[in-house]
Chains A and B, each alone.
Chain A
Amino acid sequence: MVCLAAAGRQAQLLRPGALALSDVRVDAGSCELSGSPIEAAVFRAVPTASFADGFTDEDAGFSSAEARAVWLHLLSLSSVCAINRGDCDLWFVSSEWPVWRRRLGAAGVPLSRIVVGDHVVDERGYWMQWTGGVGAAPDLLAARCFAATIVLGDRPTRSLWCVGSVLDGPRDGAVMHAGNVLTSHGVALASIDVDVDGRIAAVNTIPSISELMAPTVANVLARYIDGNLAGRRS
């Protein structure tokens, strides 16, 4: 917000829990928040999060789903410079890395070797949970019940992909290849995990950003948005 303000752009911060009650208007080609057109949006919430603070427990799930549905569309509108672009394959799942694994694999990006479920106890690696986070390999019953995934080898290194380049972490060929695939799907900000063999282990489009990197990322995103909006008017 500070960087956008410095560029003369007005920005508004919305907590995820406030989305359901925010005054919104969306149709087939345009959207408004509290009566003002939304020209750009940086969406930094897990899509399956609760967006409905202030509702009763009974209504919160439904209201959250309604807001989620609206914001997916809003972030996919060509009139909105979205970070990141709305993606229905990612929007309704608790785990995005299998989706990216499928897409990156289809694009020829080298992927970390994994084993799932019944095979995990025979292998050395770390448990990459479907809902996020990593841990030590589970026992056999847990592996079977959770369909646990073991990524073979040591924990990966993380690269931060931001507007077409790596701002932090390894810049291997596979990372750049994966980043370009992300860009083609409308992703401007993501973390890309790469293993010691240079293979991609995971992608996260709501990456955590360190305090150290935050100013750089904010500047890059603000420049990108400002340039995009300026380009529309010229």
Chain B
Amino acid sequence: MEIWLVGDPDDLSAAYVGWLAEQRGISVLGLREDRLGLDWWFGSDRRGGIRVTLAGGRVVPIQRTTGAFVRLNPEPAVSDALSIPEDLKPIYLQERRAGLQFFLDALPFVVINRPSAGRANGSKPFQMAQLVSGGFFVPPWVATNQPAVAEEFLAHYPDAVVKACSGLRSHVRRMDESILERLTRGTAPVLIQQYVDGHEVRIHVSGDRIFATRIDSDALDYRFDTSRVSFAPVDAPGDLADRCRSFAHAQRLLLAGFDFRVDHAGVWWCLEMNPVPTFLPFEAGAGHPLGDTVLDLLAPNRRKEVTESPLAQRFRPARLQQ
């Protein structure tokens, strides 16, 4: 039995899943994106059958493979061995990425996740519309680059945050005069959203399983200010958990991360769903065995009942210091 780790060799989540697999005696094959065509390559024949070959000529017995865990780097490397001129590298990278996506879509086994799944995350406005259709409460928002529109929104919702409209990683900030001034100078649209006073919860969907983690932090955006942040397991309301599961599955995602803010009245406001969620901080901090549940999906014949995360066991002293 074998699983594959596809894409970025330096991704920590992939490395962790690989380590867990080895603990269970499952063989792990790394297929690096930047080594496609050099260390490994694939072919799809007339009937759509996929064959993977390693440098040296060994054909990977695909029937032994039960799953692939995918993490693609937003800025993948280009091997010097190919001597591709600088000006052609962007085209090469796009071609290679598209080819890899075709490959991942064509694989006849579990892939977590296929890059073609959960694409709505590239546009927060678009995804929020989907989330509303999926039955989630989403805080009121507007996307604009016009100061007058921003001021009008603030008149209704004085406590607001500003964030990126796209899926690119960026700081969430309080809406203030400096943002209005930036809009006045002329800039691309930003997403302004009502701030929900309360605490943050991340819900991970892993197959059919749900893991909710409460995040307490003084910071507005705990992802960037980790000095005083703590994670703790929490129960998500049953109907909300069902909604998360249904939404993720409808998007063809086996692993997904939903971000919520829970207000003081107990309303769970959904901010977004991440189709490539990092789960290590939540596993280490809250003890959820997320990596093991992912591995259960990738290698169903080697399932293991894990109640506490091995990562959390190692990091617990650090957690207690927070």
Contact = CB atoms under 8 A, between A and B. Distances in A.
B146 A27 contact: no
B269 interface: no
B274 interface: no
Nearest to B147: A23
Contacts of B120: 88
A22 B143 CA distance: 12
Interface string B93-109: 01111111111010000
Given A24-B145, A130-B94, A67 B189 contact: yes
A21 B145 contact: yes
B186 interface: yes
A99 interface: yes
A47 B46 CA distance: 31
Interface stretch (A4-12, A58-66, A168-176, A213-221): A58-66
Interface residues of B, number: 57
Contacts of B94: 94-95, 130-131
Interface string A43-83: 00000000010010000001111111110110010000000
B249 to A, nearest CB: 17
B36 interface: yes
A144 B143 contact: no
A136 B80 CA distance: 25
B49 to A, nearest CB: 10
Interface in B90-141: 91-92, 94-103, 105, 116, 119-120, 122-129, 132, 138, 140-141
B236 interface: no
Interface in B147-170: 149, 164-168, 170
A149 B126 CA distance: 32
A102 interface: yes
B155 to A, nearest CB: 14
A147 B36 contact: yes
A113 B97 CA distance: 22
Contact of B188 (A62, A93, A95, A147): A62
A129 B95 contact: yes
Contact residues on A (Cβ < 8 Å of other chain), bracket: 35 or more
A69 B125 contact: yes
Interface string B226-266: 00000000000000000000000000000000000000000
A147 B103 CA distance: 9
Contacts of B187: 20-21, 63
Contact of B101 (A93, A117, A145): A93
B144 A147 contact: no
A14 interface: no
Nearest to B97: A94
B123 A70 contact: yes
A148 interface: yes
A26 interface: yes
Interface string A118-149: 11100100000111000000000100111111
Closest 10 CB pairs of A and B: A147-B99, A145-B37, A118-B43, A130-B98, A73-B125, A69-B123, A63-B188, A144-B41, A116-B44, A144-B37
Interface of A: 20-28, 52, 55, 62-70, 72-73, 76, 86, 88-89, 91-95, 98-99, 102, 113-120, 123, 129-131, 141, 144-149, 152
Interface of B: 36-38, 41-46, 51, 53, 82, 91-92, 94-103, 105, 116, 119-120, 122-129, 132, 138, 140-146, 149, 164-168, 170, 186-190
Given A118-B43, A145-B36, 5 more contacts: A24-B146, A25-B149, A28-B141, A62-B164, A69-B165
